Amino acid sequence: MVKLGHKGEELAVDYLRQKGYSIIQRNFKTSLGEIDIIARDKETLVFIEVKTRESLEYGQPFESVTVAKRRKIAHVATLFLKKLREVPSCRFDIVSICHKRGKPEFDLIRDAFEI
């Protein structure tokens, strides 16, 4: 059985490609945490958190990206950026996926938060 989070990330990658994003890396891990997807949207480097739920019983998936989670993502993104020669324009997006009647519904929140 495929875990819901992994399945959500697979769906998110396909969805983002359809939206014109170029996927650079998936599951960028450090000792501080992980970023689900790193992509380019035209000239902008985008750090993407994916949240997937099977129902809305506990709220929208994106609502689980707390202030603490955002801070952790920002720290990991900083480590990624330190590896680059020059710092590009960047932003943080959230892909929120909820399965309704067996079909995934997507909500892309561009520029979801700042650091």
Please write the tens of the pLDDT for every residue from 51-82. Answer: 998 877 778 888 889 999 999 999 999 999 99
Percent share of the chain, pLDDT over 90 = 71
Which are the contacts of 11, defined by CB distance < 8 A and separation ≥ 6?
52, 97, 104, 106
Grouping H, G, I as helix, E, B as strand and the rest as coil, residue 87 is coil
Coil, helix or strand at residue 1: coil
- pTM, full prediction: 0.92
Task: Calculate mean pLDDT across residues 10-15.
Answer: 96
C-alpha distances in angstroms, 87 versus 25, 97, 110? Answer: 17, 30, 19
Structural domains in the chain, CATH included, are 4-113 (3.40.1350.10)
Q: What is the DSSP string of 29-57?
A: EETTEEEEEEEEETTEEEEEEEEEES-ST
**In whole angstroms, how far apart are CA 30 and each of 18, 79, 107?**
28, 8, 27
